[in-house]
Amino acid sequence: MNAPHPAKVAGIDSTVPSPAHTVAPAAPGASPATAPNATDAAEATTAPGAPCAPGALLQDRLAGWVSDLTTLHELTERLVRTDSLSEGLQEVLRAGAALVGARRGLVVLEPADGLGPHTTVGLGLARADLGHIETVPRSALSYGRILDGLPVGADGIAEPDLLAEKNLDPRHREVAARLGYTASYALPLSTKDTEATGATGRLGAAVWLYDEPAEPGERQRHLAGRYARYAAQHLARLLEVERTRARMATMAEELLPSRLPRVPGVQLAARHRTGPRGGGDWYDALPLPDAALGLAVGSVTGSGPSAVAAMGRLRASLRAYAVMEGEDPVAVLSDLELLLRLTEPARSATALFGYCEPALRRITLAGAGHSPPLLIGERRTEFIETSVSAPLGMLACWEAPSVEFQAEPGETVLLYTDGLLHRTGAPADRAFARLHAAAAGIPRAERHDPDAVAEHVLRTVLPDGKADADSEEDVVLLAVRFE
């Protein structure tokens, strides 16, 4: 007769290892107080010398399972709140360290498809420490064997006493002694691509380091393994988001000028920050006949691949119109508005185009719903007021008068998109005031360099990393300094 299987209670799989604090079976005639791993609750409810109550072991085991499930739930809840790959990797390291009782560790991200990104993130390890570990031959490291696709048990790879191993690689021994770790525990981070084939998609490996000889127990390995399998699924999603953002940024950058032209009489510099989904902000500087220069900034509504593609088409069209009739900025924008209305009826765009004559230090400007440029000089810092007009695509026929202004030697004209103002999170008047103050406060030593001017304005208007943080708003700056 077959022995009965332990019953499942509340959906808990009874085949998982017993919790570490579960009461061990008592020997006949032995009291629970003398049984290994006996709990205080068992001592309080069972009289000395009496056999363990029939339901005490099951109750204690259930309590352990509930505790473990609660721990896993809390850790996975913290993980799913991460929305970037770097944050997700750090959270995996912290949670794994708590589960296996380690203090330090690292995650090596190395997707098996070879599409990247490849990175190493440490917990309690400085960049120099990670560099030392990377000098160890890959085959001598537990996580290296995982990344090389060698067979790994379901419980990972434990190395309880590295320095006691006779065959330990000399360089590994030297690095371990230098960094002060003597044991490690590594787990693969991989996902199943298809349930039918069981094929796995390796993302990387995680390893935790112990300061003293140690090895996670059976229960710790079980919990860490379950967490790692769930974490790999979340990391795979974050990885795809990261790749999509990188592709969008690359696409947007490829549609913008690869380099700014060199035109006698002016110096040019630009800054461009793309949002995570890719936006439609652009800039351009185009040499024109008669030693002139066409300057443009603009923004297409929307985000994502369609907005980036629309931005590319609009910028290419503006270049063609600028070559044909650039000396008349109103005609250039009028043609662009007609094209937008006929080919992109569901979109609108703001644009600013200037016909620059460097020899005369003169710019003729026309704007369509765009913020005014900023003139920065030793004796003045002021906005160049353009005529108020609607964005392109908003009216049946767009037209607005142009304005003309003269710059002094050494002055810089700053063209920018509205994303610079929107990223501040301040009302429009305060955002303009912040931009004006940033331009007025440019150090004298930096005013001769348009690159330094653009960088100073960007970092001052958007401090504390806002310039590089993920945002729905693109940012474009184009600085033109007259010699």
| Residue 23 belongs to a domain | no
Asked if 135 and 141 touch (Cβ cutoff 8 Å), the reply is no
Tokens representing 401?
């008068």
Cβ atoms of 362 and 405 closer than 8 Å:
yes
Query: By C-alpha distance, which of 19, 60, 58, 24 is closest to 41?
Result: 60
Mark residue 38 as left, alpha or beta (left: phi above 0; alpha: psi -120 to 50; beta: remaining).
Answer: beta
Mean pLDDT value across residues 8-30: 41
Mean pLDDT of the 38-51 span: 43
Query: Quick one: 384 and 455 in the same domain?
Result: yes
Q: Is the dihedral of CA 370, 376, 381, 386 positive or negative?
A: negative
Is residue 118 included in any domain, yes or no? yes
What is the CATH number for 230?
3.30.450.40
Do 372 and 460 sit in the same domain of this protein? yes
Cα distance between residue 57 and residue 376, in whole Å? 79
According to DSSP, the β-strands at 292-303 and 349-357 are antiparallel
Phi, psi of 48 (to 5 degrees): -55, 135
Q: First vs last Cα of the chain: how many Å apart?
A: 98
DSSP state of 392: B
Domain boundary among 247, 269, 289: 247
**Mean pLDDT comparison of 33-47, 248-262, 263-277, highest-scoring range:** 263-277
- In the predicted model, what is the mean pLDDT of the chain? 85
pLDDT at 155 (0 to 100): 82
The answer on 172 and 270 residing in a single domain is: no
DSSP H helices in 344-416: none
132 with 263, same domain: the answer is no
Q: Are residues 235 and 263 in the same domain?
A: no
| CA dihedral of 236, 241, 243, 246, whole degrees rounded to 10 | -160
Mean pLDDT of the 423-436 span: 95
Whether residues 170 and 205 fall in one domain? yes
Task: Kindly report, residue by residue over 70-129, the tens digit of the pLDDT.
Answer: 999 999 999 999 988 999 999 999 999 999 999 999 999 999 988 889 999 999 999 999
* Cα angle, residue 423 at apex, residues 252 and 388 outer, rounded to 5°: 85
Low-confidence winner among 2-6, 189-193, 467-471 (lowest mean pLDDT): 2-6
Are both 213 and 304 inside the same structural domain?
Answer: no
Judgement on whether residues 308 and 372 belong to the same structural domain of the protein: yes
**Does position 226 have pLDDT exceeding 70, yes or no?**
yes
Looking at residue 51, its pLDDT comes to 54
**So what's the pLDDT on residue 54?**
59
How would residue 249 be classed by pLDDT, with cut points 50, 70 and 90?
confident
pLDDT at 13: 42
C-alpha span between 458 and 405 (Å, rounded): 25
Query: Could you tell me if 20 and 219 are in contact, meaning their C-beta atoms sit under 8 angstroms apart?
Result: yes
Q: Is residue 137 part of a domain?
A: yes
Per-residue confidence band for 24, with pLDDT thresholds at 50, 70 and 90? very low
In this predicted structure, the answer to whether residue 366 has a pLDDT above a threshold of 60 is yes
Domain region containing 170: 63-247
Domain tally, the chain? 2
159 and 180, same domain (yes or no): yes
Last residue of a domain, one of 221, 247, 273: 247
Look up the CATH number of the domain holding residue 339: 3.60.40.10
